[in-house]
C-alpha cells in the first residue's frame, strides 16, 4: 500500500492496506500493549515529503554561527493520506518560513492514512514541525574605549 501511496495512487493503495489490516486484526498478540492494527494503522504515518527549499542552507556552519527555529503546522490527514485544512500554528517569527513550510506539506506530503474497522478515515489535529537553520546576526561591535592620556599630562 505504501508503494502506491508514495506514487499518489491512494485508490490502488487501499486494497493492499485493507488486506494488511485484516491480517493484523487476526493476530491475538500485542506489541507494547497495543493491537497490531493500532500499531500499524492507528494514526497517520508520514511516508514522504519534500522539505522546503533552503531550510538547511547553513547546516555546514559552526553551531556558534547558527540557530534552529521551528515552524509548526497542523492539518487533517484525509482518508486518501493527503494533508487538508492546513494551518500554521507557529511561524517562528517569519511569515515566509510559515508559508514555505505550509506549501511543502500541502503539496508534497503523503501519509499512510489511519484506519478504523478496516477503512481509511480522516484524522484531524496532525502536526508537523519543520526546523529551519538560520544564520545568527553578527555580534554587536563593542564601543571603543576612550583614548587614554599618558601619565603626567593634565587636560
What stretches of 69-141 show up as alpha helix (H) in DSSP?
95-108
For residue 92, give the C-alpha cell.
517562528
Q: How confident is the model at residue 153 (pLDDT cuts 50, 70, 90)?
A: low
* pLDDT tens, residue by residue, 39-75: 999 999 999 999 999 999 999 999 999 999 999 999 9
For residue 71, give the C-alpha cell.
515552524
Mean pLDDT of 111-118: 97
* pLDDT tens, residue by residue, 13-40: 999 999 999 999 999 999 999 999 999 9
Query: Taking Cα atoms as reference points, which of 122, 101, 140, 118 lies closest to residue 1?
Result: 118
Report the run of H or E that residue 129 belongs to, with start and end. Answer: strand 123-135
Cα(30)–Cα(75) distance, integer angstroms: 30
- Is the pLDDT at 80 greater than 60, yes or no? yes
Determine phi and psi for 146, rounding to 5 degrees.
-65, 150
At 137 the pLDDT is: 87
Q: What percent of the chain has pLDDT over 70?
A: 92
For residue 26, give the C-alpha cell.
487476526
Task: Tell if the pTM clears 0.95, that is, is over it.
Answer: no
Task: Give the mean pLDDT of the chain.
Answer: 93
Q: How confident is the model at residue 148 (pLDDT cuts 50, 70, 90)?
A: low
Contact 86, 73 (CB under 8 A): yes
At 64 the pLDDT is: 93
At 138 the pLDDT is: 82
Q: How confident is the model at residue 3 (pLDDT cuts 50, 70, 90)?
A: very high
Amino acid at each position: 500500500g505504501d508503494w502506491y501511496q508514495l506514487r499518489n495512487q491512494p485508490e490502488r493503495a487501499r486494497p493492499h492496506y485493507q488486506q494488511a489490516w485484516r491480517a493484523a486484526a487476526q493476530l491475538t498478540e500485542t506489541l507494547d500493549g497495543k493491537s497490531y492494527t493500532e500499531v500499524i494503522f492507528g494514526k497517520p504515518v508520514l511516508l514522504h515529503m519534500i522539505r522546503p527549499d533552503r531550510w538547511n542552507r547553513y547546516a555546514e556552519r559552526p553551531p556558534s554561527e547558527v540557530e534552529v527555529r521551528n515552524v509548526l503546522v497542523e492539518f487533517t490527514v484525509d482518508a486518501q493520506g493527503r494533508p487538508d485544512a492546513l494551518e500554521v500554528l507557529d511561524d517562528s517569527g517569519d511569515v515566509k518560513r510559515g508559508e514555505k513550510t505550509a506549501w511543502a506539506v500541502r503539496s508534497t506530503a503523503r501519509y499512510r492514512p489511519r484506519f478504523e474497522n478496516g477503512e481509511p478515515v480522516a484524522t484531524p489535529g496532525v502536526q508537523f514541525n519543520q526546523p529551519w537553520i538560520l544564520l545568527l546576526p553578527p555580534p554587536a561591535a563593542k564601543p571603543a574605549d576612550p583614548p587614554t592620556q599618558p601619565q603626567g599630562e593634565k587636560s
